Amino acid sequence: MIRPMIAIALKDLRLLARDRGALFFTILFPVIIAVLFGMVFGRMSTPGPLDVVVVVTQDGPLARSFAAALQADSALHVQVAANKQSGAEIVQQGHAAAVIILPEGFDDRAEALLSGGSMPLELFGDPSRAAELGLLEGKLMEIGFRQFMLAVTDSDRLRRQSAQIRRQLANDPNLHALEQTAVLKILAGAEELAAARKNEGEKKTATSVGGGMSDFRPVRIRTELLAHNQDDPPSTYAVTFPQGVVWGLAGCVMAFVTTLASERAQGTLTRLRAAPLSMHLILASKGMACVASSMIMQALLLVLAWAAFDVHPVNLAMLILAMTVNAISFTALAMMIAALFRSGAGTDGAGRALILVLAIVGGGSIPLVFMPPVLRSISVVSPFRWAIAAIEGPLWRGGSIADQFAAIGSVAIVGIVCAVISLGGMAKWRRGS
Amino acid sequence: MLILRDVRRAFGSLQAVDGVSLKVDRAEVVGLLGPNGAGKSTTVAMATGLLKPDSGEVEVVGFGNPMRASVRRQIGLAPQELALYEGLTGFETLVFFSRLYGASIHRDAIQCGLDEVGLASRAHDRVGHYSGGMKRRLNLAVALIHKPSLLVLDEPTAGVDPQSRAHVREIIRRHAAAGCAVLVTTHDMEEAEKICDRIAVMDQGVIRAHGTLAQLVAAHGTAEGTHARSLEEVLLNLTGRSLRE
């Protein structure tokens, strides 16, 4: 019993693998949709300067100067928050990539730049915007260098720092007198240079530093990722890969409907029925192929999302369950389409049109969050909407197990309804044959 | 091997088969002749278990009603359409259909099956690249691959070249000689004359006459106004000369 079923399923999968058109729509097209939409939506979300939030914890001149430098930078769009919590909320709401905190003691540490200190910064970033956080760290380092150059060309500030170094030298018993003299001469030279530049009115802001300073880090950044707000996707790819899954499911459904239609048109279905197999067994075998192709397609897409786009599932077991229920339910949908139309051409044409409309309405083209309210309410009739919800739950949305089961259950209900309708349709189909 | 007893089947108001009784013995080739719409394909569908008769009985002797899946294991069907998967190779096609019949067929046996129909050298080419004659021969090979006791061939040489036609006829005769019962429908009088042991002429759902070629020609084969005797005249005399839809 099982051997002929496997033979039919493998035959269908082999034919699918050899049909470039079907293969394109079941595998390649969903990947293109997922990646392309991910890129497009990603760009849409960061069209201009990088949004950041600045929190100045201790109000000192150097902290104010650093914050002002951030605000003056054209690559950044800075909002000021009173504390870390309110800054983090802005980030978690998706309105900024990170919150930059100038912590307690910023001025003291910044004052000691020439004696080996560095400006401390704390960065709390949106985990979904890892690439932008990398850019932001680079930008903070650049601003830090500018601040450093200001420090060494500001004679008053340099004098304060020299005094501090002189005190440290005087208190250091391990330092040889010759070494002390040498360092003091260098300091005196630097002070003279700064004073001369001040007199000449050449107090310019340096914008670059020489190669010899490449190891020097004027800014020490401690980066932490904020816990993700589950209402927002961790990245645009977390939204677009479930969309890709929808198109993949549509491709699998259409491939199944097309093979069944062509089996009827070419007479191979007659040949299958002449074999020692019941019609139910033949359809179950073909359904098995559809389920297998749907599972393979979903697995490929989600592994790609995981490996290449950093979309990690929050609940792998539930994700596998969602994929399985999707595969079975959409196979039932395919069976329903095949059962409702008597002719092969009718099944193929009407089936494609129906699937296309359902996929678009269900969020295959425009994510539900961007849909106008009217379209969003219409989308409840599309099984693709529920398929997206079933995947999104364990992929990134999280929530309670009950919530995730509810989404998966909705897909299962769609599958059961389709299966019941298809059984009725196929009974008629067999009687008429 | 195959017995049809007073089988009837209607589609709506059309009585496609109206009380057909027919017997095909082992090692015998029985031809079913008739114009389009005579009810031949419906009779074949009922004989192979694809269609349930409204009344009457169909029996594969020693096994039972072909509506039962296990009985269909004894039947090899070559439908009128070239019912093949163009994306599979000839070899894969035979492996696939042999598995459907639960047969554990060795690679060599598959190759022999292809060799029998003259396709061994094209075994690993896709069916989509075969000519019409090659497809027709593969269609026959599929019907034979599980070594059936009853072979049902619906116009097995339709639209093929004389070489393929001769080859197919030779295969049919060879299997009949080996003990296989063969029911073949055809429009080709020459084919019926060459391969059939007995012939049944069918029209409007009933069998008008049946017997050996000699019996039919003797009884119904005289052309009007001439002394010429042929199977074609038998058919025309029994089914009329008016054009059919």
Asked if residue A196 is part of any domain, the answer here is no
Residues A19, B80: C-beta atoms closer than 8 Å:
no
Q: Per the domain annotation, does A167 fall within a domain?
A: no
What is the mean pLDDT of the segment spanning A115-120? Answer: 77
Distance, in Å, from the CA atom of A143 to the CA atom of A132, rounded to the nearest integer, reads: 16
pLDDT in tens, A30-45: 999 899 888 887 766 5
Asked if residue B135 has pLDDT above 90, the reply is yes
CB contact (8 A) between residue B73 and residue A277: no
Among A252-261, A266-275, B21-30, the range with the most confident prediction by mean pLDDT is B21-30
A325 pLDDT band (50/70/90 cuts)? Answer: very high
Domain that holds residue A17: 2-41+231-432
A350 shares its domain with A409 = yes
User: Which pLDDT value is given to residue B58?
Assistant: 96
* CATH number of the domain enclosing A115: 3.40.1710.10
Provide the pLDDT confidence category of residue A433 given band limits of 50, 70 and 90.
Answer: very low
Q: Which of A178, A194, A225 is the last residue before a domain boundary?
A: A225
Residues of A in contact with B83 (CB under 8 A): 266-268, 270-271
Bridge partners (DSSP) listed for residue B3: B23, B59
Question: Are A269 and A148 in a shared domain?
Answer: no
> Which range is most confident: A152-166, A384-398, A399-413, B42-56?
B42-56
| Domain termination residue (choose one: A192, A225, A258) | A225
CB contacts, 8 Å: A11 with chain B: 85, 88, 92, 96
Same domain? A148 vs A280: no
CA distance B240 to B245: 13
**A245 and A307 inside one domain:** yes
Shared domain for A30 and A79, answered yes or no, is no
DSSP helix/strand/coil, A222: strand
Please answer yes or no on whether A278 and B69 come within 8 Å at the CB atom. Answer: yes
Which residues of chain A have a Cβ shorter than 8 Å from any chain B Cβ?
3-4, 7-8, 11, 14-15, 18-19, 266-268, 270-278, 433
Residue A233 has pLDDT above 80, yes or no: no
Q: Which of B85, B97, B98, B124 to mutate to test the interface with A (most CBs of A within 10 A)?
A: B85
> Is A242 within the bounds of a domain?
yes
- Same domain, residue pair A217 and A240: no
In this structure, the answer to whether residues A133 and A274 fall within a common structural domain is no
Indicate yes or no: CB of A274 within 8 angstroms of CB of B84. no
Closest CA to A92 of A66, A59, A126, A119: A126
Say whether pLDDT at A211 is over 60.
no
Residues of B in contact with A274 (CB under 8 A): 48-50, 72, 75, 77, 79
Q: Least CB-CB distance to A267: which of B81, B92, B100? A: B81
Residues of A in contact with B82 (CB under 8 A): 266-267
pLDDT of residue B81: 87
Q: Is residue A117 part of a domain?
A: yes
Q: Are A283 and A263 in contact (CB under 8 A)?
A: no
pLDDT at residue B15 in the model: 94
Q: How far is B145 from chain A (nearest CA, A)?
A: 12
- Spatial neighbors of A303 by CB under 8 A, at least 6 apart, are none
Task: Check: pTM over 0.95? Answer yes or no.
Answer: no
Is the same domain home to A7 and A63?
no
Within a 10 A sphere around the Cβ of A377, how many other Cβ atoms? 10
Contact B100 A275 (CB under 8 A): yes
Q: Look at residue A229 in the predicted model and tell me its pLDDT.
A: 59
The C-alpha atoms of residue B240 and residue B34 are separated, in whole angstroms, by 11
pLDDT band at residue A194 using 50, 70 and 90 as cut-offs = low
In a domain, A108, yes or no: yes
Does the structure show a pLDDT above 90 at A429? no
Residue A187 lies in a domain: no
Split at pLDDT 50, 70, 90, the class of A344 is low
Position A387, amino acid: A
What's the gap in Å between the CA of B188 and the closest CA on chain A? 22
* Chain B residues with at least one Cβ partner in A under 8 Å: 48-51, 69-73, 75, 77, 79-85, 87-88, 92, 96-97, 99-102, 126, 142
Q: Which residue of B has its CA nearest to A272?
A: B100
Task: Taking residues B17-27, report their average pLDDT.
Answer: 94
The residue from A174, A193, A225 where one domain ends is A225
What percent of chain A is predicted at pLDDT more than 70?
84
Judged against a pLDDT cut of 70, whether residue A432 lies above it is answered with no
A217-248: buried (b, 16+ CB within 10 Å) or exposed (e) per residue? ebbebeeebbebbeebbbbbbbbbbbbbbbbb
| Residues A329 and A427 placed together within one structural domain of the fold | yes
Output A214 or A344, whichever has higher pLDDT: A344
Kindly report the nearest CA distance between residue A428 and chain B, in angstroms: 14
**How many angstroms away from the CA of A336 is the closest CA of chain B?**
23
For chains A and B, count residue pairs whose Cβ atoms are closer than 8 Å.
71
pLDDT in tens, A92-101: 777 788 999 9
Tell me, what's the ipTM? 0.88
Q: Which residues in chain B are contacts of A15 at CB distance < 8 A?
A: 85, 87-88
Residues of B in contact with A267 (CB under 8 A): 79-83
Q: Which DSSP state fits A28?
A: I
| Structure confidence at residue B131 (pLDDT) | 92
A275:B70 CB<8 A: no
Q: Are residues A238 and A12 in contact, defined by beta-carbon separation less than 8 angstroms?
A: no
Which candidate, A276, A428, A270, places its Cα nearest to that of B67?
A276
Q: How many domains does chain A have?
A: 2
Q: Which of A13, A30, A85, A15 minimizes the C-alpha distance to A53?
A: A85
Q: What distance in Å separates the CA atoms of residue A313 and residue A292, rounded to the nearest whole number?
A: 21
Lowest mean pLDDT: which of A111-120, A315-324, A356-365? A111-120
Kindly report the nearest CA distance between residue B93 and chain A, in angstroms.
9
**Contact (Cβ atoms closer than 8 angstroms) between residue A84 and residue A101:** yes
Residue A76 lies in a domain: yes
Give the pLDDT score at A202. Answer: 47
Q: How confident is the model at residue B107 (pLDDT cuts 50, 70, 90)?
A: confident
Q: Quick one: A243 and A377 in the same domain? A: yes
Q: How far B195 CA lies from chain A's nearest CA (Å)?
A: 24
Residues 6+ apart with CB under 8 A from A268: A262, B83, B84, B85
Burial status of residue A369 (CB atoms within 10 A of its CB: 0-12, 13-18, 19 or more): exposed
Instruction: Judge if A253 and A282 occupy the same domain.
Output: yes
- Residue A262: per-residue pLDDT: 84
pLDDT at A163: 75
Is there a single domain that holds both residue A253 and residue A214? no
Q: Which residues contact A199 (CB under 8 A, 6 or more apart)?
A: none
Q: Is residue A160 situated within a structural domain?
A: no
A221 forms beta bridges with A121
Nearest C-alpha neighbor of A283 from the set A301, A267, A269: A269
* Closest chain A C-alpha to B215 CA, distance in angstroms: 33
Burial A386-420 (b: 16+ CB within 10 A, else e): bbbbbbbbbbbbbbeeeebbebbebbbebbeebbe
Neighbour tally for B240: CB within 10 Å: 12
Tell whether the model's pLDDT for residue A177 goes beyond 50: yes
